Structure 1
Amino acid sequence: MLDTGQDIRSDWTVDEVEALLRLPLLDLVGRANSIHRMHHDPSDIQKASLLSIKTGSCPEDCAYCPQSAHHREVELTREKLMNPGHVVSLAKRARDAGAARFCMGAAWRQVRDGEEFNNVLEMIRGVRNLGMEACVTLGMLKPHQAQRLAEAGLTAYNHNLDTSPEFYSEIIGTRTYQDRLETLGYCRDEGIDLCCGGIIGMGESLRDRAALLQVLANFDPHPESVPINALVPIKGTPLEHRDKVSIFDLVRMVATARITMPETRVRLSAGRSDFSTAEQALCFLAGANSVFYGDVLLTAPNAGTQNDQDMFAALGAVAEG
């Protein structure tokens, strides 16, 4: 009998995680749903709104990302860092539409001290004053920058691992896996929640998917939020011709994340707009309990707000907020 990890564990092996991913689908979903109900209200789905506060011209070479300066054929409007007051007004609009968390992304390789970072800190304080959770993704951090983010009231820092340590160099060459782990460690040291997940559909193997989840599940404590992204192939990026991710592959990732990280928010993220309400419902049955909410995810399309409201009504879900 395969141990489904009803106790909170941080000692998973890649073989154990891969065995979960290979279970018959209904068996896997059933186990995940049982664990989900032990640790969460199944009708509670968190809405998180995401805004690109600085778009394009990123020096990183991430193969999936249209914001990389390396991908010159991508059609993208590049924008400087937004005004803090405007960002807070958009956060208020998101709150009024039902979002509980406001996430802000800047296409930077790393944070640099100065006026722009000070403006981001002002945005965080403004979002928190609205009674919302505040999350940012700004690239790599130094310890004192993580401290300043914590002092501003930051709820969570998003810094995805993207894929397995073994496949990582096939996707990104401008920073290392260890760079990412160090930034996450600085945030954890300051008491900032971690929002950390990955992407499937980039050409990785099932073993790579298992290795990604194994790294995340062996954090102690586990990340508070794990976004599961399905690749959105963008014209002009090296991954533009990748096939669409199967809903069953996405469900397997969600269910295995739920089994290995019972108390984590598992978030349906990029690629969700490609799936029907019924397909997304299978993900919620498998343990997803958070979504990015709104019409756009940074520069990728997302399920529309009205579509989501209709879906939540059909599911009888109570969105946190």
Structure 2
Amino acid sequence: MTNRHDWTVAEIAALHDLPLLELVGRANATHRQHHDPNHVQKASLLSIKTGGCPENCAYCPQSAHHREVDLTRDRLMDPEKVLGMARTARAAGADRFCMGAAWRQVRDGRDFDAVIEMVRGVRDLGMEACVTLGMLKPHQAQRLADAGLTAYNHNLDTSPEFYGKIITTRTYQDRLDTLATVRAYGIELCCGGIIGMGETVRDRASMLQVLAVMDPHPESVPINALVPVAGTPLAGRPVIDPLELVRMVATTRLVMPQATVRLSAGRASLNREAQILCLIAGANSIFYGETLLTTPNAGIGDDAELLAALAAPVRDKEASAA
């Protein structure tokens, strides 16, 4: 499948609802056309400033609005400590280091200067650097670009139609404006969403349509499954069926063939085989580490076993001869 920028919501929903084997088969063929099917990028994600966010995102334990969440608020981390953790991640095989700060928007000053130092340091380690810092202004995007930032993460979360049921402190247009600012300064976009928040299949298709009509498409599209956290408004939501995540990954791959599709939050609830099915369906990146910002992630040992299972089996000569 070639790149298109004229997708309709109905077309994407129809893809999503294909018989599962047909959908995964098409997605895998598209994936193999544009990517090395044996390569899975390992990225590491670190919360560099935790809690106290003024936004009211219904899924997020870092929101200051959700006072029943058991979460310690932490100031921005020291750059040297962050870079030490980046070195550890690199030694564990990660080649992309992502840093998230629970801010509504970037503010000039000492903290932003420290983030610039972190970005430069990560790039000096030979790693890709990605940050998620909330909304930002053109001159701030310019500083990040000058520091060598690879990508800026700013998720849409869900469809324009469902968005108001999840967040009311920031508009959908605010998010789109931030993405446009990032793109204007030559920084790659990392932008995706979350499923399992009560949205419909049409909402999922609508979110993908917003991304798929961008020209160019976002270079990176994280697909997250809701991790219900006690104390948040979505704490009572059931964990989604893993096959819903497979369908979303496959649909994303079909409408944005060249993007890196990141299997993100919610992966800890998937068994090894479900994760492999997501990779077959077109995901080609995982976040490596025990936590994703503040929610549990698959363990490093589990990931080592997953990646070992994907590799060609190593057999001794006697077994091979038999």
One fold, TM greater than 0.5? yes
Q: Deviations over 1:115-153 (max 9, x none)?
A: 000000000000000000000000001111101100010
> Following TM superposition, by how much is the alpha carbon of 1:300 offset from its aligned partner in structure 2, in angstroms?
0.3
Partner AA of 2:242 in structure 1: I
C-alpha separation in 2, matches of 1:28 and 1:308 = 26
- 2:205 corresponds to which residue? 210
C-alpha separation in 2, matches of 1:304 and 1:205 = 31
Q: Deviations over 1:156-214 (max 9, x none)?
A: 00000000000000000000010001111111011100000000000001100000111
C-alpha separation in 2, matches of 1:80 and 1:112 = 14
Partner AA of 2:241 in structure 1: S
C-alpha separation in 2, matches of 1:270 and 1:208 = 19
Q: Which runs of 5+ in 2 are unaligned?
A: 313-322
| Length, aligned pairs only | 312
Runs of 4+, deviation exceeding 3 Å: none
C-alpha separation in 1, matches of 2:275 and 2:212 = 23
* Structure 2 residue 81 is matched with structure 1 residue 86: yes
Q: Deviations over 1:224-243 (max 9, x none)?
A: 11000000000000000001
- 2:248 corresponds to which residue? 253
C-alpha separation in 1, matches of 2:112 and 2:241 = 39
Q: How does 1:229-244 map to 2 (within 5 A)?
A: 229-244=224-239
- 1:277 corresponds to which residue? 272
- 1:48 corresponds to which residue? 43
> Following TM superposition, by how much is the alpha carbon of 1:306 offset from its aligned partner in structure 2, in angstroms?
1.2
C-alpha separation in 2, matches of 1:197 and 1:114 = 29
> Following TM superposition, by how much is the alpha carbon of 1:77 offset from its aligned partner in structure 2, in angstroms?
1.1
Partner AA of 1:127 in structure 2: V
Partner AA of 1:20 in structure 2: L
> Following TM superposition, by how much is the alpha carbon of 1:216 offset from its aligned partner in structure 2, in angstroms?
1.0
* Structure 2 residue 159 is matched with structure 1 residue 191: no
> Following TM superposition, by how much is the alpha carbon of 1:301 offset from its aligned partner in structure 2, in angstroms?
0.2
- 2:155 corresponds to which residue? 160
TM-score, length of structure 2 as denominator length: 0.96
- 1:74 corresponds to which residue? 69
- 1:125 corresponds to which residue? 120
TM-score, length of structure 1 as denominator length: 0.97
Compute the RMSD of aligned alpha carbons. Answer: 0.6
C-alpha separation in 2, matches of 1:123 and 1:196 = 21
* Structure 2 residue 20 is matched with structure 1 residue 25: yes
- 2:320 corresponds to which residue? none
Query: Secondary structure in 2 aligned to 1:242?
Result: coil
Query: Secondary structure in 1 aligned to 2:189?
Result: strand
Partner AA of 2:12 in structure 1: V
Q: Deviations over 1:63-122 (max 9, x none)?
A: 000000000000001100000011001000000000010000000000000000000000
Q: Deviations over 1:266-296 (max 9, x none)?
A: 0000000000000101000100000111000
C-alpha separation in 1, matches of 2:2 and 2:130 = 28
* Structure 2 residue 283 is matched with structure 1 residue 288: yes
Larger relative contact order (C-alpha < 8 A, sep ≥ 6)?
1
Q: Which runs of 5+ in 1 are unaligned?
A: 1-5
C-alpha separation in 2, matches of 1:296 and 1:7 = 35
Equivalent position to 2:137, from 133, 142, 152: 142
Query: Secondary structure in 2 aligned to 1:44?
Result: coil
